[in-house]
Amino acid sequence: MLTPKKDLNELFDMEIDDYKGDAYFISGLTTPYLLISMVKSTSCPFCMLRFIELNMEAEKLKQAGVSVWVFFNDTSESLRQKFTSYSKPISENLRIFGAAQESIRTFFNFKKDYFAMFKTIQSMEQAKVVFKNIGTKSLKTLKDPSLPGDLLLSTKGEILLSHASKNFSDHIMVVDIINKVKG
């Protein structure tokens, strides 16, 4: 479980710039809930699978009252390069953040594990596919031992779900998020 190191109200008033340079505040959301999904890099295949899943499910989450914020370790500039040429439209209900992630990551007790990539890859055949399709850029994700994680917050200041990942593909399922907010 991820627990805040400070008063949660400080997080709600923190200005966070997305990869385009637009400023956001949790306290300024129009939905009653916010999913914060922390991933590694756009060069990490498992992290991009999480992004693709959230982008595909973003409208369903919006209908349930959940805004989606995805935080990458990449710089805002590299995210602009990646998502300017991205082949699929990005949902209006999904925000992408880069460098601002550190302020969020340090707000909670995210775990670190230098062997997480190897725990995520279950077989040598899977490793060959990952490195063949993504290349050695995936190795950059090994330099930062921070694990992904997910938080579902209410805009009233409650942590509804908190998940500290055990590997790069370990996240809260979208169906569980929707079930939680629907009660």
Question: For the chain, which residues make up each domain, given as ranges?
Answer: 8-169
What average pLDDT score do residues 88-117 get? 72
Contact 158, 42 (CB under 8 A): no
pLDDT digits (tens, 9 = 90+) for 150-162: 999 999 888 899 8
Q: Is the dihedral of CA 99, 12, 109, 162 positive or negative?
A: negative
Give the model's pLDDT for residue 178. 97
Top-level CATH class of 8-169? alpha beta
Residues 6+ apart with CB under 8 A from 48: 42
Mean pLDDT over all residues of the chain?
A: 79
Give the model's pLDDT for residue 8. 75
Distances (CA, A) of 18 to 79, 80, 112, 133, 136: 10, 10, 24, 28, 27
Q: Which of 39, 45, 40, 48 is nearest to 131 (CA)?
A: 45
Q: How confident is the model at residue 85 (pLDDT cuts 50, 70, 90)?
A: confident
User: What DSSP state is assigned to residue 4?
Assistant: B
Residue 120 or 94, more confident? 94
Burial environment of residue 122 by CB neighbours within 10 A (0 to 12, 13 to 18, 19 or more): exposed
Give the model's pLDDT for residue 177. 96
pLDDT above 80: residue 4: no
Give the model's pLDDT for residue 127. 53
Distance between CA atoms of 182 and 64, rounded to whole angstroms?
7
